[in-house]
Amino acid sequence: MPFYLTIRTSDGKPTEVDLKAIKMPAVIGRDSEFSQIVVPDSQISRAHAKLADAEGGFSIEDLASRNGTWLNGQRISKGVFKPGDVLRIGTSQIMLEEAEAGEPGPLEGKRIGGFELQEALGKGTYGTVYRGMQIALSRPVAVKVLSEECRKDPERVQAFLTEARRAGRLNHPNLVQVHDVCQIDDQYLLIMEMMNQSAGDLLREEGPFDEDDLLKLMKDTAKALAYAESQRLVHRDVKPDNILVNDEGVYKLADLGIATPMAENGQAKQERIYGSPHYVAPEQARGSSIDGRADIYALGATAWHLSTGEPVFSGTSRQIIAAHMNEPLPDLRKLAPKLSHGAVALILSMLEKTPEKRPANAGEVSQKLEMIIMSKTRSARTVPAKRIRRRRRYRG
């Protein structure tokens, strides 16, 4: 069963950590050299507490921390951390949440305005996502409903609306489409097109992608990134969990609402560093100005992970980021021996540490993918049925 940590530091902004991506046991602390789950809080020890698998949840053990570990208001040396519990370390609060397809939601079976909310598909930082129906159009949709906790925070409401409206202005067949964002009574709704699983889900459930699947995903995502570049946007968080597939086998990039705009010089200044360590470009990790080539790097790292079953580099967050900046790549030909020479060469070019050595833009990546696909004898026009699932999972 999938679990997530929602971490709220003293600045009040929540961060979500998907525990499927964390190898257990894992250390929680402020220093990425010692911890797999990093919380930026000066009152937390470098290696503060250890999280491990346990029946019905996780065990949590204090690692002789300076300020202690508190579970549901009680100081502990070791305890059981279950969904709904509140862990406090330093000045930060950590909640454990479940996110399971089909998990009942508080509005399941109800109508809000012109939308009927059916089964809950997942729960995340902003709220719950439901499989829904837009009644007037008889159109299946995904409906994200802002949580009660978020509705009480004007800054989070504004962030939700800003990201939704930014995404709603974008229209491309390889982007997850935002149909509407609205307030109905005291509820805030984000209406999106209905999708199936993410590439990350497929990797976890079925293992590495074959080359036809991989090239189709890369081509569809490159087209989405080329469109983002045409709108002078850098996505900043391309990864397997942000690439979804629909019933027709079309891959679509999600979460473009968090993209940052490029200035007149074609560069985007980073006010804070986004991105996931396994896929982040070296210049993005350094906090330098970035452009679409940072997304090309992330797509290359995503392709590596999907084709080999393992990320490019492993270790703590700090070690992974340092490796992306400084370490040579492992031998992809040995790790994915069934990949064609053309596919390997393209992925390696996308993972060049210097942006100038990568493909100049996502359009160039798309063209190279078309050439590789055309050179193959089998068609990659559709995703094989094994990659399409009726189960739909969303995170809020």
pLDDT tens digits for range 206-252: 899 999 999 999 999 999 999 999 988 889 889 998 899 998 999 99
Q: Please count the other Cβ atoms lying within 10 Å of the Cβ belonging to residue 170.
A: 18
**Over residues 269-297, mean pLDDT:** 82
Domain 199-387 classification at class level? mainly alpha
**Over residues 336-346, mean pLDDT:** 96
CATH superfamily of domain region 111-193? Phosphorylase Kinase; domain 1 (3.30.200.20)
- If one compares 317 and 371, the residue with the highest pLDDT of the two is 371
User: Coil, helix or strand for 89?
Assistant: strand
pTM of this prediction exceeds 0.75 = no
The confidence band for 303, taking pLDDT boundaries of 50, 70 and 90, is very high
Contact call for residues 309 and 205 (beta carbons, < 8 A)? no
Domain residue ranges of the chain, discontinuous segments joined by +: 3-98, 111-193, 199-387
Cis check for the bond before 25: say yes or no (omega within 30 of 0): yes
One CATH from 2.30.29.30, 2.60.200.20, 2.30.30.30, 3.90.700.10 for 3-98: 2.60.200.20
Q: Which run of H or of E encompasses 349?
A: helix 341-350
Q: Give me the active site residues, please.
A: 237
Token code pair at residue 356: 């100038």
- If one compares 117 and 265, the residue with the highest pLDDT of the two is 117
DSSP 100-153: -TT---TTTT-EETTEEEEEEEEE-SSEEEEEEEEGGGTEEEEEEEE-HHHHT-
Same topology between domain 3-98 and domain 199-387: no
- If one compares 98 and 333, the residue with the highest pLDDT of the two is 333
The confidence band for 132, taking pLDDT boundaries of 50, 70 and 90, is very high
